[in-house]
Structure 1
Amino acid sequence: DLHERVNPIEEDRSRARWQAFADSITAPRRHRIKLGITGKYAALRDAYASIDKAIEHCATTLSCEIEVNWIDTSTINDMEDAARELDGLHAVIVPGGFGSRGVEGKILCAEYARKNHLPYLGICLGFQVAVIEYARNVLGLDDANSTELAPDCSGAVISELPEQKQLEGIMGGTMRLGAQDVQVTPGSLAARLYGEQSSIRERFRHRYEVEPEYIDQLCEAGLVFSGRHPEYPIMQMLELPRASHPFFIGAQFHPELTSRPLAPNPMFMGLVAAGIRLSEPGASLKDIPERWRQSSDGDSASNGKPLAGTT
């Protein structure tokens, strides 16, 4: 029968892991943070169900009670609005989305997080708005934008993927979809989060990328592209050096889609751990595994330069 075909030792280990996870769900939490999720669908929590579950996986694993604040970015029009929504949080997630509504609010949230050292995770569009914000306010490109949002803008730091530029069809019909390999810069925050792996595999759903002609300029201004396509100059992860920010990272892919109860996604784990560090300054946090405690220690590799062959 089935039992005879299963290794009983491994079966017992698996059962023990699940039992420990189940016990930790109801156990008193040792830490507490406030985390913001910013988006135009904030009133509909199910729109971010995968992100919600990824956060739950981390909360259980790190014994952290996470109070989630849902923030509607369509109501954020200036830095005063952003400060009102984000002040008092210990971490923020800027998730993906389509269309222009609420995007300027997301850009303001990225700016607030960067300037105020608020742990930041940008996903898909959240990755792109971090690039736009950095281009506008650090690189000095006032009209920086995405061709998805402003097709005729002169500072298009985000544009369609090369394979999509000659295609036509409904939105979503020409997307780069599914699991793809990502080459990771050694010594970067991304590498530390993923256990120093040189290559990872994550799931994508996008049509736009960082415009290659701006990559060098962004890197020279201090932005670090720590993950890229293995063959083409397509930037897939970004971060800020430890010297300028405790935890600021973005991914063009969707890390929430590979998070599991017994194996939370590393980007979410790093964000929650960074939020715990912010909420408990000076604490040793010895109960948190070193991989997550130290995930933002040390300067990112390459001094903001992309990997060889990216430009």
Structure 2
Amino acid sequence: MARYVFITGGVVSSLGKGLASAALGALLQARGFSVRLRKLDPYLNVDPGTMSPFEHGEVFVTDDGAETDLDLGHYERFTGVAARRTDSISAGRIYSNVLEKERRGDYLGKTIQVIPHVTNEIKDFLRIGEDETDFMLCEIGGTVGDIEGLPFFEAIRQFIHERPRGQCILMHLTLLPYLSASGELKTKPTQHSVKELQSIGLTPDVLVCRSEQPIPDREREKIALFCNVRKEAVIAAYDLKSIYEAPLAYHREGLDQAVLDAFGIAPAPRPNLSRWIDVMDRLENPEGEVRIAVVGKYTQLEDAYKSIAEALTHGGMANRVRVIPEWVDSEIFEREDPAPFLERFDGILVPGGFGERGTEGMIAAARFAREHKVPYLGICLGMQLAVIEASRNVAKLPDAGSEEFDHEAGAKRFTPVVYHLKEWVQGNRVIERKATDDKGGTMRLGAYTALLKPGSLVAQVYGATEIEERHRHRYEVDIAYRERLEEAGLHFTGLSPDGRLPEIVEWSGHPWFIGVQFTPSSRASPSIRIRSLRDS
């Protein structure tokens, strides 16, 4: 049966609960334990799938097709444990499940209340897969004191009380603000945050204190005294040069030892941190650098492209180069010639997105990359727009476009080479969708197989002719245009197993111009086992 670590936050949001959870998971793995990480979000959306990227950042998709919080991406990158649908839950999903059961009559006519029905649903979620791992790390989104988080905290209180003593601990992240006028770190916000937790029946076993300044022993002792934790369990969390330094930094501060001590695990296995030492060596000692222009729709918020940002870093690690991305608003190229701006980059990446805004600028970037032989990677929408660019400017389809943009305009303006996907095969089932369906959870989601053309560039890169990658989209390139586009030089080098859905295109005679319908960045990892392109 798993031991549970519940990770909460106080004082302010964005303290780094997700990163701390992921780093702790990596450290427990380094000591030989198996881990699984989960996220409980108090918002009322059923999942983040319908949220704007500006609202909540990137939507991270799992192999089994769940749309989840971007923190699950951190969990995967740090532990290598593939997230599942059962690793993410929101208050909206909890309430939806409860109401569905009420409508079916599962509660036998009882009055439905937060306690016990909502809290029981949360506890049922926590128990899923508890026999499969040594440690279950459960991060609760938001900040203690938020009204929408109260059912989750109450469920955790009940859950801890119901388990055998010593099987659950609470790790709480807080802020130690530094007042430059007085030259002091202030502990009072942390004290009040812990007091808030205690008022709802929860007491932290480990305190992780975010600070821009070193925490003197006197302040640690004060925090330990007033917050009822051991001094050794007051862990400093300082700003880092890279998030991948977090496992080593937290280990130096004693986080993993404090957690094992809280569980009474002694003697604790010694950690093997060679992987993270190597990762930091590759980050800190690159042998060169490359500049990549990321031409997208949501570049004002880097979290909207979190997986892509991290995957670029991972690619740099694998090749021992520093990757310097520059986030470029694609709408700029709808007004200006992209050449003077893009010619200073070593590569161009056009990521995914939804809607017509900014797409003509992305098409201009794809054309620049094709004509000037600049390495190009188009992901999802980036692939579709590369196909539209090729259709318009090479394959003699000047009105080429997407049904997505016609749908927005309410008029037929384009010859659609990209269409709304109405039917596809998932395993042994045929999935059907209509344009009028609900938006949430109706896309082609999760891991799908693609067959690669032998001898193609992508087959060389993957070292295989059959791959599996994650998808999140509802529009597809129309296979009907394959012959015309291939005659123009754009080859369909990856297809779904039934041959109906284009997964990958690449330009012949170009050093590196690839478009993929899936999101390869969602599976990227900082592990040194990443295959270097130098090995291709």
TM-score of the pair, normalised by structure 2: 0.46
Among residues 173, 182, 187, which one is paired with 2:450 in the alignment?
A: 182
What pairs with 1:157-168 in structure 2 (closer than 5 Å)?
A: 157-163=417-423, 166=434, 168=436
Among residues 276, 279, 290, which one is paired with 2:535 in the alignment?
A: 290
AA at the equivalent of 2:438: I
CA RMSD of aligned residues (A): 2.5
Measure the CA separation in 1 of the matches of 2:476 and 2:327: 27
- Does 2:514 align with 1:245? no
The 3 A distance-change label for structure 1 pair 77 and 154 is closer
Among residues 435, 439, 444, which one is paired with 1:171 in the alignment?
A: 439
Cα distance, 1:119 vs structure 2: 0.3
Moved over 6 A (4+): 2-6, 11-14
What pairs with 1:221-236 in structure 2 (closer than 5 Å)?
A: 221-236=488-503
Measure the CA separation in 2 of the matches of 1:206 and 1:49: 18
Measure the CA separation in 1 of the matches of 2:483 and 2:414: 17
Paired residue for 1:153? 413
Measure the CA separation in 2 of the matches of 1:254 and 1:90: 21
Q: Is the 8 A contact 1:114 1:245 kept in 2?
A: yes
Deviates more, 1:175-184 or 1:210-219: 210-219
Paired residue for 1:192? 460
Where in structure 2 are there 5+ consecutive unaligned residues?
1-28, 35-268, 424-431
Cα distance, 1:92 vs structure 2: 0.8
What pairs with 1:249-288 in structure 2 (closer than 5 Å)?
A: 249-262=514-527
Paired residue for 2:299? 42
Matched residues, number: 261
Cα distance, 1:135 vs structure 2: 0.1
Deviates more, 1:118-127 or 1:81-90: 81-90
Deviations 1:112-171 (A, max 9, x none): 000001100000000000000000000011100000012423410000113155452233
Identity over aligned pairs, percent: 39
TM-score of the pair, normalised by structure 1: 0.77
Provide the secondary structure at the position in 2 that maps to 1:233. coil
Structure with bigger RCO (C-alpha 8 Å, 6+ apart): 1
Provide the secondary structure at the position in 1 that maps to 2:451. strand
- Does 2:479 align with 1:212? yes
The 3 A distance-change label for structure 1 pair 227 and 172 is farther
Measure the CA separation in 1 of the matches of 2:529 and 2:339: 30
Deviates more, 1:205-214 or 1:185-194: 205-214
- Does 2:280 align with 1:22? yes
Where in structure 1 are there 5+ consecutive unaligned residues?
271-288, 292-311
Measure the CA separation in 2 of the matches of 1:4 and 1:65: 31
Provide the secondary structure at the position in 2 that maps to 1:42. coil
AA at the equivalent of 1:219: E
Cα distance, 1:15 vs structure 2: 4.5
Paired residue for 1:273? none
AA at the equivalent of 1:49: K
Which of the two has higher C-alpha Rg?
A: 2
Measure the CA separation in 1 of the matches of 2:484 and 2:497: 21
Paired residue for 2:312? 55
Paired residue for 2:135? none
